[in-house]
Amino acid sequence: MFEGIANGIIIAEKRGEKGFGYDPIFQAEGYNISFAEMTLDEKNKISHCGIAPLKLICYLKAIS
């Protein structure tokens, strides 16, 4: 199992049009925009949904 963690805060009002679920109300640590305001590339670099698969890829490369 591979885990990705995105640290941040829940903001008071929705911001942005992209993403789904909590994206409009989640602001990652070190950023002043919500996940819903980020491009998909930006979000995937720091989101748990982007980090976990990268860990799997690194693992698979290491054992092959």
How does pLDDT run across 4-62, given as a tens digit for each residue? 999 999 999 999 999 889 999 999 999 999 999 999 999 999 999 899 999 999 999 99
User: What is the pLDDT, as a whole number, of residue 42?
Assistant: 95
pTM of the model: 0.83
Q: How far from 61 is each of 25, 29, 53, 55, 56, CA to CA, in Å?
A: 35, 29, 12, 10, 9
pLDDT the model gives residue 11: 98
The pLDDT value given to residue 18: 93
Coil, helix or strand at residue 3:
coil
